[in-house]
Amino acid sequence: MTDDVKALQQERTQIHHDLMDNKIPKRVPVTANLSLQPLAEWAGIDLHAVHWKPSLIAEAADKLCQVLYSDTLPASGSLRYPSFYEVLESQSFVMSSSGFIQHPETVGLEVEDYDYLIEKPYDCLLERVIPRQYKALNLDDPVSMALALTKSYMGYSGDNQELAPIFGKLIEKYGYYPGPPPGSSGFTATPFDFLADQLRGFRNISMDIRRMPGKVLEACEALYPIVFKKGLPANPSNYGAVAMPLHMPTYMREKDFEKLYWPTFKRQLDEYASHGVHASIFCEDNWMRYLDYLYELPTDTIKIGRAHV
């Protein structure tokens, strides 16, 4: 790293830290990013191939750094690789014919499972939901299940580690902000979104809201400790955050949002704040009608959304 590049990285680090410390930074930091799929398409790389060998984007990532301005690395990998999902025979995340990893409408929790989920949420997830969503995790065949789980974990770890040294070199080469301290970030969902996305599916949760709102509310309370722990960083820092995409609110009536979604969501962010953890929430779609609720969230909550005109 040359002196000029090192000075640029120090400046970028300082403006990010000032922002998180509630100080006026020297300038506004810029973050632009292409994840694995759009980066591969931009470079003309086959999506099927790059999902199985992520390092194929190495040259494209370097070229992107030269043409796209950002204070952070403008290239990233993927949250989901087929090596993990195909080994487990996933029903919830599958690769389409176009090469994209998609989340089809699936049901992991039947309506008759609500009471068991509410009584023993962790047991219900292990015994009923996961075997339905991941067919290779067959409780009646523990040996095959153990082998599939081991292979999937090795694939997941290998795919993520394949890109780490490539991205590390680009951060040093171009002097990007290196990111938050190790162990200070996390990723999770709200209890309601987890119930809707992974357990009941969009169609069923929409019916449950009207037919059995009490069960939905109890299920959110039961799932709360699991999703909270999933997102809690091991080493909280003022410069790290737990990322949370928010899916269902804009598809809900406000009175249903207030009764079923908001209580555990607000509690989750308040509890993270009590641990010194910032939440970075992605308010998907148009949240204008929920602005008053967002004002009630803890100070320093990072709110990401889309502009609507």
User: Do residues 189 and 44 share a domain?
Assistant: no
- For residue 1, the model assigns a pLDDT of 73
User: What residues contact 211, with CB distance under 8 A and at least 6 apart?
Assistant: none
- For residue 304, the model assigns a pLDDT of 87
- For residue 306, the model assigns a pLDDT of 66
Domain of residue 232 covers 183-305
Mean local confidence (pLDDT), 201-221: 97
Q: Can you give the pTM of this predicted structure?
A: 0.92
pLDDT band with cut points at 50, 70 and 90 for residue 200: very high
pLDDT digits (tens, 9 = 90+) for 20-36: 999 999 999 999 999 99
pLDDT band with cut points at 50, 70 and 90 for residue 307: low
- For residue 139, the model assigns a pLDDT of 82
- For residue 3, the model assigns a pLDDT of 85
Domain boundary among 174, 202, 234: 174
What is the phi/psi pair of residue 186, to 5°?
-155, 175
User: Do residues 221 and 299 share a domain?
Assistant: yes
Alpha helices in 26-178 (DSSP H): 36-43, 47-52, 58-67, 82-87, 114-119, 121-124, 130-133, 142-174
Question: Does the residue 276 lie in any domain?
Answer: yes
- How many domains does the chain divide into? 2
